Amino acid sequence: MTAAFAIPGEAVAADVAAALAEDIGTGDVTAALLADGPDCAYLLCKEDAVVCGRPWFDACHRALDPDVRIDWRVEEGTQVAAGTVLATLEGRTRALVSAERASLNFMQTLSATATTTAEHVAAVDGTGARILDTRKTIPGLRQAQKYAVRVGGGCNHRMGLYDAVMLKENHVRAAGSLTAAIRAARAAQPGLPLIVEVETLDQLREALAVGCDRILIDDFDAATRREAVAVVAAHPRPVPLEVSGGVDLPGLRAIAADGVDFISIGGLTKHIRAIDLSLKLGPPPTGP
């Protein structure tokens, strides 16, 4: 299934180069104490999780041992149970040990994002609402974490400040009005998607009247949110409606059931806990 996800190849290489340089520096002085010869290892997942990060894991090990053999037992995006052996490796002892931490850091972090995303996607199943990420990512790992969101079944919001125009309170204030901000954005960037954040129902109606590609309602209470859905649905030119702010997993389905199109959640990439994985030298256990 790895090929089914758009893998940011250049980003993988850059992420791995930075991680190995950070960790190994001028050389792994501890691994140098080991006799270097053919060895094997296995990657163990110690908790239920959605597996994510294989391209980064592989690149870490191949950067130090181009001849390493990595046999994956599970596909990218697979939900696994605690105790699952994810992969076996055959390579040089020192390279296996030196690549261990960086490769696990990627797998633990990206599997955490994919697992969290999958939980949120499952919560809105059947409603028609789609789960979006945000720009609240770990510095330097935006493409990696947004990839993990896709692996977990979510959708990507804008990648950065360059691929969509998103008008918020400060932009409206600087422009003098919401209408002025929208018109200026259309004139300056006619080829980019235009997303407008509104704080009131009056602003929502104004954004619909002037025109945009998506409207974001931020921190609306339930009653106002449902009214916003009705206002958009009744408009001659309805646009997708996105909800953000004050979103948590227990209340997620109720928001989706109101009829919104997107729910953006910073916690998919920001409030994550690394999945417990380990890389152990030797063959995997064969018993129960």
Known catalytic membership, residue 101: yes
Q: Are 172 and 149 in contact (CB under 8 A)?
A: no
> Which amino acid does the sequence have at 59?
A
Q: Is the pLDDT of residue 6 over 90?
A: no
pTM: 0.94
What was the pLDDT predicted at 211?
Answer: 96
Q: What is the mean pLDDT of residues 6-26?
A: 94
Q: Average pLDDT over the chain, rounded to whole?
A: 95
What sign for the dihedral angle of Cα 40, 26, 55, 83?
A: positive
The band of 219, judged by pLDDT with boundaries at 50, 70 and 90, is: confident
Known catalytic membership, residue 15: no
CATH architecture of 2-121+273-281: Alpha-Beta Complex (3.90)
Catalytic position from the list 199, 218, 227, 276: 218
> Which amino acid does the sequence have at 140?
G
Q: 36: alpha, beta or left, given left = phi > 0 and alpha = psi -120 to 50?
A: beta
Residue keyed to tokens 């950065």: 160
Catalytic position from the list 101, 186, 226, 253: 101
Cβ-count burial 50-79 (b if 16+ within 10 Å, e if not): bbbbbbbbbbbbbbbbeebebebebebbbe
User: What does the longest C-alpha to C-alpha distance in the chain come to?
Assistant: 73
Q: Is the pLDDT of residue 4 over 60?
A: no
> Which amino acid does the sequence have at 33?
L
Domain spans of the chain? 2-121+273-281, 123-270
> Phi, psi at residue 86, to the nearest 5°?
-85, -35
Known catalytic membership, residue 146: no
Q: Are 264 and 168 in contact (CB under 8 A)?
A: no
Q: Coil, strand, or helix at residue 195?
A: strand
Catalytic position from the list 136, 183, 226, 280: 136
Known catalytic membership, residue 48: no
Q: What is the DSSP letter of 172?
A: H
What was the pLDDT predicted at 2?
Answer: 42
Catalytic position from the list 58, 133, 197, 242: 197
Return the number of other C-beta atoms located less than 10 Å from residue 39's C-beta.
18
Return the number of other C-beta atoms located less than 10 Å from residue 18's C-beta.
13
The band of 36, judged by pLDDT with boundaries at 50, 70 and 90, is: very high
Cβ-count burial 104-123 (b if 16+ within 10 Å, e if not): bbbbbbbbbbbbbbbbbbeb
R_g (Cα) of the chain, nearest Å: 23
User: Exposed, middle or buried, 182 (CB in 10 Å: 0-12/13-18/19+)?
Assistant: buried
Separation between Cα atoms, residue 104 and residue 118, nearest integer Å: 20
Digit-coded pLDDT (tens) for 235-263 = 999 999 999 988 999 999 999 999 999 99
The string of DSSP codes covering 105-131 is: HHHHHHHHHHHHHHHHHHHTTTS--EE
Catalytic position from the list 62, 135, 168, 253: 168
Known catalytic membership, residue 202: no
Fold (topology level) of 123-270: TIM Barrel (3.20.20)
Q: Are 201 and 224 in contact (CB under 8 A)?
A: yes
